[in-house]
Structure 1
Amino acid sequence: MVLPPVGDDSDIDVIKALLLLNSRVWRGTRPTVVAAVQDSENVAAARLAAGDTALVIDADDIAVRLVAQSHRQTGLSSVFNELLSFVGNEFYLREEPALVGSTYGEALHAYELGVPVGLRRSAGEVLVNPAMDTVIGAGDQMILVAEDDLLIRPAETAPAIIESAITSAPSQPPTLDRTLLIGTTSRATKLVGLLDSFVEQGSVLDIASPQPPREELREGLENVTVGYKHCEPTRRSSLEALDLGSYQHIVVLSDDTIAPGPADDRTLVTLLHLRDIEDRLGDPYSIVTEMNDDSNREVAQVTKADDFIVSTKVITLLLTQLTENQNLYAVFTDLFDPEGSEIYLKPGSNYLVPGAKANFATVIEAARRRGESAIGYRLAAHGDEPPTYGIFLNPSRTAPLVLSEADAVVVLAER
C-alpha cells in the first residue's frame, strides 16, 4: 500500500515508489500494489508508473464525489464508513451455483443473511445493481453486503412479503435545490460540476467565502445557477447575513490554504454557529462538512452536523479494502461514478406506506419493482446516535419494521 505523504510533492513520492515497485524483480508471486494520489492530474502518470497489475485511486476525485453525493442525502457518509471500515457490513464476492439460471431479481430474495447488490461475471465484468432480468451464469459471483463471508446464508424458504405495506402512491417528485457552499478550496470547480450533475435544472448554488470564486467555476453548468455572497465563515454576524433559512442544504468546505489542524478548528467554529442558527430557525437545512482529522470528527459531533466527510480516512479504508480483495476495485469505481449505480438514501414513503407494519423483505421487494437493490434503511429518530447514526445495513428480513415519513431506505440505483 503506497500512501501519499504530507507535503506539496506527495504525488511525486508516490510515483517514484510505484516506479521502483514496478521495476523490481519479485521472488515468487508478485504482491498486490495499491496506491493513492492527491491530484487528479497525476493519476495517468501514476498508473503508467505502477504498471498493469497495480491499482491507483484518485483520492481528490473520490473525496469530492463523496461530498457531492452526501450534500442531499443525510447519512450517506455513515453508509460508506460502515461498508469500508471492516466494522459491521462490507462487500463480499461469493459464487452461488444454486442460483445459476435464475435472474438477479429472483436472487434478491434468495438469502436469509446477506443482501445482493450485483454480479461479477466469470470473465471479470462487474455489474452493480444490474437489470432485474439479468440471468446468473455458471461461474458468476454474487456481490453481497454482509457482516462476514461466513455469515452469508441462503434462505431455505422465501421470506414473507407484506403486499399491503408496499406503497402504491407515486414517488415524491424531484425538487429544485437551494444549496449554500461555505468556503472554497482548490477542488471547488470539480465539486460544483458534480453538484450540477446531481440536481434538477433550475437549482441554485450560492458560494459564501471571503473571496469571490473564479469565473471558470461557472463554465459548462446545465442545471444549477451559481451566485456569490461575501462571508467570513467563523463570524456569527457574517453567517446570519446569508439568510440561511432559505437553503435546504449547506456544505462547509475545509480551507486547504492553511494547515489541516487549524482548518478543522475553523470548521468547528463555523459548525457551532450554523447549528445554533439552525435551532433558532426550526431546523430548515442539512449540514455536510469536510474534516481532515477523524479525531476532530468525534469532537464535532456536538454540533450535530448531518454528515462528516473525513476524506483521508475514507481513502485509507478504501485502499485497505483493495489490498484484501482487488476485485472490489470495479465495485467502488461504479459506486463513485455518476454514470453507474450509486448509493442513495431515498424517502421511505417511496417504498412502504408510512406507519404500515412490514419487514425488510417487503422493502427489498418494493425496491426490486423500481429496478433498485435495497441494502438497509435509516431511522431519523436515531440520526444523532453514534456509531451508526440511524443507519441499519443488512438488517433481519423478517423482523417487524415500520417506516415513518422522515425515514429513508438505502438503495443502489441509477438515479
Structure 2
Amino acid sequence: MTQRRTPLGERARYWFDSTLARGASALVGWLALLCLAVVVPVSAALVWTDPDAPASMTDRLAAVWHLTGETLRLGGATGAPPRVLMSVLLALIALLYVSTLVGLVTTALTERLTALRRGRSTVLEQGHAVVLGWSEQVFTVVGELVAANANQRRAAVAVLADRDKTAMEEALGTKVGSFGRTRLICRSGPTTDPALLSLTNPGAAGAVLVLPRDEPDADAEVVRTLLALRAALPGPAARPPVVAAVRDDRYRLAASLAAGPGGVVLESDTVTARLIVQAARRPGLSLVHQELLDFAGDEFYLVPEPALAGRPFGDALLSYTTSSVVGLMRGETPLLNPPPHEPIRRGDLLIVISRDDDTTWLDDCAGLVEEAAVVSGPPAPARPERVLLLGWNRRAPLIVDQLRRCARPGSAVDVVADGGEATVRQVGDADTQAGTGLTLTLHQGDVTRPETLRRLDIDAYDSVIVLGQDPAPGQPPDEPDNRTLVTLLLLHQLEQVTRRELPVVTELIDDRNRALAPIGPGADVIISGKLIGLLMAQISQNRHLAAVFEELFSAEGNGIHLRPAADYVRLDHETPFATVVAAARRRGECAIGYRDHADSSRSPGHGLCINPAKTERRRWTLRDEVVVVGKD
C-alpha cells in the first residue's frame, strides 16, 4: 500500500499543536517568539528611518536592541555580552515580581468581588421580611410582600437560598417586576447553616418565611432550616414570627416544634386538597380565594371597635359602609360567623374584609335595608353528588378524604387513572376510608387518550377534577402540566360535542400555563404553589389570621360559599347591597360580595365583586350569586 505524503502545512500545524500540548512553558516560548518577530523588525524600521541614526552598522544594531529592550522591558543595556545578559536577567526578575504582584492583587480583587456577588455582608435592616429557600413560591411570596409594603416609607425583603445572588436578583426582577419602595436583598448560601442564616439578621426581622423546595426531601430540609434559625437567633426574646410550609403532614409536628410557640406551619398538600374540593362543590370559589388572599384587592384585617362593645354581633354587619364584618377574634380564638345575638365583648377584635387597615370606619347602614326586597324561606336541600377525578397523585387521597367529610349519602367519586400497582393500592386505601356515604370506583385508563374520556358519561357528573401526575425524580417540577393540558383539550372537545359547559377544576403547578389551558377565563384553576405563597404572605403580616384561614378552608365549620341570589333578595328588583347583608344575617350568614355571571366574561374580575359598598344598588338576576361566610 502506497503511503500518502502528508502536506507540509498539515505537518507544521500538527507540530505546533504538539508543542502547545506540553504546557505553559511552551506557550510562554511561543509568545516570546511572536513578540520578537513583531518588535525586532519594527524597531529596525524605526532606527533605519531615523535621520539621526548612527552611521555604523554596529551602532544601528545596538539602537535596535535598545528599542527592543525598552519595548519588552528587557533592560536594553548595550556593551559586552555579560553586561547585556545581566541586564536581561534583572529585567526578567523585575517582570516576574511585577507580574506576580499583579496576579496576587487580581486574585484578591476577584475573591472579594465574588464574595460581594454571593452576598456575604450582614443585613442591617430592622423589621424586614426574611425568605428562606427557593421554589416557585418565592415569586408569589416576594411579590405579595412588596404589595403589602406599598404604603410603607421604608421596607426590605431579604432572600437567602443556595443559588447565585445575581441569578436570584435577575429572576425576581423579571417575574416580580418593580419593587417600589421595598428594597430587595439577596444572600447566597444553604439555609441550614446558622452562620450564613445569621447574615439575614433574623433577630431583627418582622417575619421569617421558610419555603419548601420542589423535591422529595423538601420537608426534612424545612425542619433543618427551622432548627438552624433557632441556632442563629441570639435568644428566645429575639424570635420573630415564623411561617413555614411542609407537604407531608408527618413532618408538621417536627416543624412546629422547631418553629417555636409563635410559629405557624402549613400543610401545603392538605390546604390544596381543601381548596380543590371547595371549588369542585362550588364553581367559581377559587376566584374568591384569589381575591381574598392577595394584597392587590380586599383582605382580612383585625380591628378594635370599642363603640360596639356590648352590642350583638348582628349589628356590626351593617355598621360599616366599605368593610364587611365576618367574625370576632376573642383572645387567640377566631369566631367566624357567630350567631347574630352573640354580644361583642370588650377586648374583642372584629374580623373584617376591607381595602386597607385605614378604610374601616363606623357608619350605620341599617337604614339602607329594603325589607320588601328580602326573601325568606329555607334553602334548597342538598343532594348526592357525582364527582369525576381524572388523574392521581399524592394529593388525591387527601381530596377523597375531603369529599368524604362533606358527602351526602349516595355520593360517588369515579377515578380514572392508569392501572399502576401504586395507584390501585392507593385508591383501595382511600376507598376503605371513604365511609358509607361515599362510593369510590377506579376506572383504569390513560386520561390523555380520547377513547378513555369518550367511554365516560360526562354529563352525569356534577364536577370534574383534573390532576397531574407527581413529577418523577430528575423531572422538571412543572412537567405534569403537559399531561393536564392535553386532558383539558380533550374535555374542551367533549364540551363542544355535548354543548354543555363542564364544571372543571384544574390543578396546575406553573401559573404561566393557565394562559395555555383551553378553559374559560373564570374557570377554577388551583395553582397550588401560588395559593400557598399567598397564604404564607398573609399570615406573615398577621399570624392570628392563620386560625381564620384554617377554619375557612376546612371541610367542617364556617366556610366561604356561593349561594343563588334568589335565596336572599327578589329578582329583577334593584336594591342596595345592605339588603343582601340583612337577608344573609337572618339566615345566620355574613354576606361579603356577589358574582355577576352575565359580566363574568367581560370584566377583569370575571363578574366577582368582594366587599362592595353597602350603598351599591343593582338589579339582581337568576344567574347572580351571593358570596357568604357560613356553614354548609
Bucket of the pairwise TM-score, normalised by the shorter protein: over 0.9
Task: Find the counterpart in structure 2 of residue 252 from structure 1.
Answer: 466
Matched, 1:270 2:484: no
Q: CA deviation at 1:238?
A: 1.9
Structure 1, unpaired ranges of 5+: none
Matched, 1:216 2:457: no
Q: CA deviation at 1:18?
A: 0.5
Structure 2, unpaired ranges of 5+: 1-208
With over 3 angstroms needed to count, the CA separation of the structure-2 counterparts of 1:385 and 1:47, relative to structure 1, is farther
Match of 2:411 among 203, 208, 211: 203
Task: Find the counterpart in structure 2 of residue 324 from structure 1.
Answer: 541
Task: Find the counterpart in structure 1 of residue 626 from structure 2.
Answer: 409
Give the secondary structure class of the aligned counterpart of 1:180.
strand
Q: CA deviation at 1:86?
A: 0.3
Cα-to-partner distance string for 1:338-367 (whole Å, 9 max, x where unaligned): 232111111222212222222211111111
Match of 1:31 among 230, 240, 247: 240
Letter in 1 for 2:566: S
* Equivalent-residue separation in structure 2 for 1:299 and 1:315 (angstroms): 22
Moved more, 261-270 or 32-41: 261-270
* Equivalent-residue separation in structure 2 for 1:386 and 1:297 (angstroms): 18
Q: CA deviation at 1:262?
A: 2.3
Letter in 1 for 2:442: Y
* Equivalent-residue separation in structure 2 for 1:304 and 1:209 (angstroms): 27
Identity %: 38
Aligned partners of 2:366 and 2:578 also within 8 Å: no
Match of 2:441 among 227, 244, 260: 227
Aligned partners of 1:288 and 1:305 also within 8 Å: no
Task: Find the counterpart in structure 1 of residue 290 from structure 2.
Answer: 81
* Equivalent-residue separation in structure 2 for 1:53 and 1:169 (angstroms): 45
Q: CA deviation at 1:306?
A: 2.2
Task: Find the counterpart in structure 2 of residue 9 from structure 1.
Answer: 217
Give 1:47-196 correspondences, 5 Å limit.
Answer: 47-121=256-330, 123-196=331-404
Moved more, 103-112 or 394-403: 394-403
With over 3 angstroms needed to count, the CA separation of the structure-2 counterparts of 1:199 and 1:389, relative to structure 1, is farther
TM-score (norm 1): 0.95
* Equivalent-residue separation in structure 2 for 1:41 and 1:229 (angstroms): 30
Aligned partners of 1:355 and 1:402 also within 8 Å: yes
Task: Find the counterpart in structure 2 of residue 243 from structure 1.
Answer: 457
* Equivalent-residue separation in structure 1 for 2:503 and 2:321 (angstroms): 35
Moved more, 357-366 or 162-171: 162-171
* Equivalent-residue separation in structure 2 for 1:5 and 1:40 (angstroms): 16
TM-score (norm 2): 0.63
Give the secondary structure class of the aligned counterpart of 1:342.
strand
Match of 1:366 among 583, 586, 591: 583
Aligned partners of 1:118 and 1:142 also within 8 Å: yes
* Equivalent-residue separation in structure 2 for 1:39 and 1:198 (angstroms): 23
Task: Tell me how many residue pairs correspond in the alignment.
Answer: 414
Cα-to-partner distance string for 1:114-169 (whole Å, 9 max, x where unaligned): 00011112x32211111111111112111101111122221145341122222234
* Equivalent-residue separation in structure 1 for 2:309 and 2:515 (angstroms): 46
Match of 1:398 among 592, 598, 615: 615
Letter in 2 for 1:383: S
Cα-to-partner distance string for 1:97-116 (whole Å, 9 max, x where unaligned): 11111111111011111000
Aligned partners of 1:163 and 1:362 also within 8 Å: yes
Q: CA deviation at 1:312?
A: 0.3
Give the secondary structure class of the aligned counterpart of 1:345.
strand
Aligned partners of 2:365 and 2:578 also within 8 Å: no
Give the secondary structure class of the aligned counterpart of 2:387.
strand
Aligned partners of 2:287 and 2:608 also within 8 Å: yes
Q: Which has the higher helix share?
A: 2
Letter in 2 for 1:230: Q
Q: Root-mean-square deviation (CA), in Å?
A: 1.8
Give the secondary structure class of the aligned counterpart of 1:117.
strand
Q: CA deviation at 1:26?
A: 2.9
Moved more, 225-234 or 238-247: 225-234
* Equivalent-residue separation in structure 2 for 1:61 and 1:109 (angstroms): 35
Between the two structures, name the one with larger relative contact order (CA 8 Å, sep ≥ 6).
1
Task: Find the counterpart in structure 2 of residue 43 from structure 1.
Answer: 252
Cα-to-partner distance string for 1:278-333 (whole Å, 9 max, x where unaligned): 23213253010100011112332655572000110011111111111111111111
Moved more, 255-264 or 390-399: 255-264
Aligned partners of 1:75 and 1:389 also within 8 Å: no
Task: Find the counterpart in structure 1 of residue 30 from structure 2.
Answer: none
Letter in 2 for 1:389: H
Moved more, 296-305 or 74-83: 296-305
Moved more, 85-94 or 183-192: 183-192
Task: Find the counterpart in structure 1 of residue 92 from structure 2.
Answer: none
Task: Find the counterpart in structure 1 of residue 147 from structure 2.
Answer: none
Aligned partners of 1:33 and 1:54 also within 8 Å: yes
Give the secondary structure class of the aligned counterpart of 1:289.
strand
* Equivalent-residue separation in structure 1 for 2:448 and 2:569 (angstroms): 42
Matched, 1:20 2:237: no
* Equivalent-residue separation in structure 1 for 2:562 and 2:279 (angstroms): 9
Aligned partners of 1:229 and 1:242 also within 8 Å: no
Aligned partners of 1:197 and 1:223 also within 8 Å: no
Aligned partners of 1:15 and 1:49 also within 8 Å: yes
With over 3 angstroms needed to count, the CA separation of the structure-2 counterparts of 1:95 and 1:301, relative to structure 1, is farther
* Equivalent-residue separation in structure 1 for 2:553 and 2:345 (angstroms): 26
Aligned partners of 2:492 and 2:519 also within 8 Å: no
* Equivalent-residue separation in structure 1 for 2:304 and 2:377 (angstroms): 37
* Equivalent-residue separation in structure 1 for 2:315 and 2:276 (angstroms): 34
Match of 1:345 among 540, 562, 568: 562
With over 3 angstroms needed to count, the CA separation of the structure-2 counterparts of 1:279 and 1:398, relative to structure 1, is farther
Q: CA deviation at 1:197?
A: 1.7
